[in-house]
Amino acid sequence: MFHLPANVWEAVCKHAAQTYPDECCGVIVERNRTLEVVPVTNVQNELHARDPQTFPRTARTAYSMKYEEVAPLLEAAYRGELRLVAFYHSHPEHDAYFSAEDRAAAEGWLEDPQYARAFQVVLSLRGGKVVDAAAFAWSPETKDFVPVPMAVDETPLSGRG
């Protein structure tokens, strides 16, 4: 079960609404026993503009986290200064599912145990409003991301590690 406090979930939903109709992306971290939402810039439009052959999709249907923003979080997690709780992104005008593209992007980081323990959260937006969400976790047994129940409440996060 993936629990998020209501205030953290509200911050994630606000970020998704602000970036609509483009996909949002970000990270939820735990630092000093406090959860933080860290919005990350989606650079997919820049990548598409520079090289549409390699990056045929725009930010309307894809995301790419800005390396300069996410790298310090990964480094801090490696040093034990924070815990990567979840990576999130939105699917504007689409369902909350873990796509083949999402899976391929996430699997590239699985050799890092900090990353492998983090949940993947996908939000579905319709008309700029969050209407659904789904959480996924890496299963070493099935070697795949599997759906996990997600709850928003006032209890502390019950993380995986």
- CA dist 134 and 95 (Å) reads 9
pTM (two decimals): 0.92
Beta-strand ranges (E) seen in 12-118 are 25-31, 34-40, 83-92
H or E element in which residue 43 lies: none
Q: What is the pLDDT along the chain (161 residues), one digit of tens a residue?
A: 999 999 999 999 999 999 999 999 999 999 999 999 999 999 999 999 999 999 999 999 999 999 999 999 999 999 999 999 999 999 999 999 999 999 888 887 766 656 788 999 999 999 999 999 999 999 989 888 999 999 998 754 434 43
Position 157 scores a pLDDT of 44
Inside any domain, residue 158: no
Residue 161 within a domain: no
Q: Per the domain annotation, does 160 fall within a domain?
A: no
CATH number, domain at 103?
3.40.140.10
> Looking at the domain assignment, is residue 48 inside a domain?
yes
Instruction: Please say whether the beta carbons of 153 and 141 come within 8 A.
Output: no
User: DSSP state, 156?
Assistant: P
Q: What is the separation of C-alpha 20 from the centre of its chain, rounded to a whole number of angstroms?
A: 15
In a domain, 58, yes or no: yes
Residue 93 lies in a domain: yes
| 88 CB-contact burial (10 Å; exposed 0-12 / middle 13-18 / buried 19+) | buried
**Does residue 61 sit within a domain?**
yes
Q: Which two tokens stand for residue 75?
A: 């480094």
pLDDT at 160: 40
Q: What is the pLDDT of residue 105?
A: 82
Domain count, the chain: 1
86 and 27 Cβ atoms separated by less than 8 Å: yes
The residue range of the domain holding 50 is: 2-153
- Is residue 54 assigned to a domain? yes
